[in-house]
């Protein structure tokens, strides 16, 4: 019995250790029509001049927001990959020294997992504003230039190992079934060749707007629907009383997984509310493999707990399985009694 209890304790501890990360990782898509960056390129090859161009921006972001599905109070931007939509063509005038041109092709602005651990989550205030410091941001792309000066022509890679550390700040809001995230007032300055002098600087300013679908209550796997997969996740964790997560079925973010969460899922279940409860009952009626193993290990002990007293009468030896409190001898012991009623 003690062995079975220890196995059960280990199984519960293992389940508790498999909780998901706080919040939910929302995949955002940059709204190209609302996201424009300005690029101020300085070409310094003895003579110096600058030119300014703009381009729409496309790309994706991965953002952890808590608690789902809305009314967020914390944010953690974990990665982004922005692409410059247009090829940027710059022109430079060096006066009597000549002129020059340059192009920026395949431009990117990135923060990726390979850059290291992203900054910690920060709070979102009641207006949806946030400010998250410590982002390691890289520029990438090809910067090709041509001049009529003695410097001639050349090119430089915006090497993605050249990173700046900046704060991302903006606002996160929800409306209808959509989340909108902004990164406001960007002002990022990159040394194009990382040598401090040879070619110059690329200053990037502007704003990013990205959107993601709001999770439905009951959509535990975040795939946009509420179906048997989501119900199975909830059923597997039903009864958890602390540290429940959205992916397990905690749809009201109160830490437990109970009837309230099941009701939230049922209200959005694809085949109807009645079907959700029926399917849940069917799932609950099927023992988990781990539970079957525990029953096998502790089966004898479970039987002993429910049998108080049993006597088999026959002309041969009679067996008594007794509850210890009845005769005061060894508890839950199998006894052999002869025909005269004497213990052997």
Q: Are residues 31 and 130 in the same domain?
A: yes
CATH code for position 257: 1.10.1330
Angle between helices 259-267 and 273-284 (to 10 degrees): 130
Does 180 lie in the same domain as 33?
yes
Whether 297 is covered by a domain: the verdict is no
Number of domains in the chain: 3
At 45, the pLDDT band (50, 70, 90 cuts) reads confident
Task: Mark whether 95 and 236 lie in a shared domain.
Answer: no
Instruction: Summarize pLDDT for 10-35 with one digit per residue, the tens.
Output: 333 333 333 334 689 999 999 999 99
Residues 99 and 128 in one domain: yes
Contact 134, 164 (CB under 8 A): no
Domain containing 313: what range?
A: 307-344
**C-alpha neighbours within 13 Å on the C-beta side of residue 164:** 19
Question: Chain-wide mean pLDDT for the chain?
Answer: 78
pLDDT at 161: 60
Residue 286 pLDDT class (50, 70, 90 cuts): low
Together in a domain, 32 and 60: yes
C-alpha span between 46 and 57 (Å, rounded): 32
Burial of 139 (0-12, 13-18, 19+ CB in 10 A): buried
107's tokens: 């431009």
Is residue 71 situated within a structural domain? yes
Predicted confidence (pLDDT) at residue 119 exceeds the cutoff of 60: yes
pTM: 0.72
DSSP state of 343: B
**Which of 263, 289, 315 marks a domain boundary?**
289
Q: What is the pLDDT of residue 179?
A: 97
pLDDT tens figures, 186-197: 999 887 755 555
Within 10 Å of residue 130's Cβ, how many Cβ atoms?
24
CB 157 within 8 A of CB 165: no
Last residue of a domain, one of 289, 320, 335: 289
> Does 243 lie in the same domain as 209?
no
| Residue 296 forms part of a structural domain | no
Q: Are residues 101 and 229 in the same domain?
A: no
* Per-residue pLDDT tens over the stretch 196-213: 554 568 899 999 999 999
Q: What is the pLDDT of residue 340?
A: 47
Residues 142 and 276 in one domain: no
**Domain membership flag for residue 4:** no
Q: What share of the chain is helix, strand, coil (3-state, %, to 5)?
A: 25, 40, 35
- Which of 183, 213, 243 represents a domain boundary (last residue)? 213
What's the confidence (pLDDT) of residue 65?
A: 95
Residue 196 confidence (pLDDT) = 56
Kindly state whether residue 276 falls inside one of the protein's structural domains: yes
d(CA 159, CA 262): 50
**How buried is residue 142: exposed, middle or buried, by Cβ count under 10 Å (0-12/13-18/19+)?**
middle
CATH number for position 85? 2.40.128
Say if 82 falls within a structural domain: yes
Shared-domain flag, residues 228 and 94: no
Rounded CA separation 172/250 (Å): 22
Within this chain, do residues 55 and 118 fall inside the same structural domain, yes or no? yes
- Do 209 and 314 fall into the same domain? no
Confidence of residue 287 (pLDDT cuts 50, 70, 90): low
Instruction: With respect to residue 160, please indicate whether it lies within any of the assigned structural domains.
Output: yes
| Average pLDDT of the segment spanning 271-278 | 94
Q: 80 is written with which tokens?
A: 């982004």
Percent of the chain whose predicted confidence (pLDDT) is above 90: 52
Query: Does 321 fall in a domain?
Result: yes
Reply yes or no on whether the pLDDT at 154 is more than 90. Answer: no
Structure token pair of residue 203: 């200053």
Same domain, 333 and 203: no
Lowest-pLDDT range of 21-35, 146-160, 325-339: 325-339
């Amino acid at each position: 019995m003690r062995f079975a209890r220890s196995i059960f304790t280990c199984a519960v501890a293992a389940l508790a250790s498999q909780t998901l990360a706080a919040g939910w990782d929302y995949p955002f898509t940059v709204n190209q029509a609302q996201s424009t960056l300005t690029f101020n390129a300085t070409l310094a090859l003895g003579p110096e001049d600058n030119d300014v161009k703009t381009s729409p921006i496309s790309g994706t972001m991965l953002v952890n927001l808590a608690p789902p599905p809305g009314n967020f109070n914390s944010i953690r931007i974990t990665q982004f990959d922005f692409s410059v939509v247009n090829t940027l063509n710059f022109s430079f005038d060096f006066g009597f020294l000549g002129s020059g041109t340059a192009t920026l092709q395949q431009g990117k602005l990135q923060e990726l997992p390979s850059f290291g651990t992203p900054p910690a989550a920060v709070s979102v205030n009641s207006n949806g504003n946030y400010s998250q410091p410590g982002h390691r941001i890289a520029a990438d792309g090809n910067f090709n230039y041509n001049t009529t000066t003695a410097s001639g022509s050349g090119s430089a890679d915006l090497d993605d190992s050249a990173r700046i550390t900046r704060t991302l700040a903006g606002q996160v809001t929800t409306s209808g079934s959509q989340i909108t995230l902004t990164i406001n007032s960007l002002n990022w300055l990159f040394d194009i060749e990382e040598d401090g002098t040879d070619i110059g600087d690329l200053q990037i300013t502007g704003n990013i707007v990205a959107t993601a679908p709001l999770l439905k209550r009951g959509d535990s796997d975040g795939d946009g629907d509420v179906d048997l997969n989501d119900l199975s996740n909830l059923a597997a964790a039903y009864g958890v009383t602390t540290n429940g997560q959205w992916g397990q079925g905690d749809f009201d973010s109160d830490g437990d997984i109970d009837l309230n969460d099941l009701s939230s899922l049922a209200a959005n279940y694809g085949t109807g509310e009645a079907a959700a409860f029926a399917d849940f009952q069917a799932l609950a009626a099927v023992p988990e493999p781990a539970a079957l193993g525990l029953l096998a290990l502790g089966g004898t002990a479970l039987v002993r707990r429910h049998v108080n007293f049993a006597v088999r009468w026959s002309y041969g030896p009679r067996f008594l399985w007794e509850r210890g409190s009845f005769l005061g001898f060894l508890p839950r012991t199998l006894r052999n009694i002869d025909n005269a009623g004497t213990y052997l």
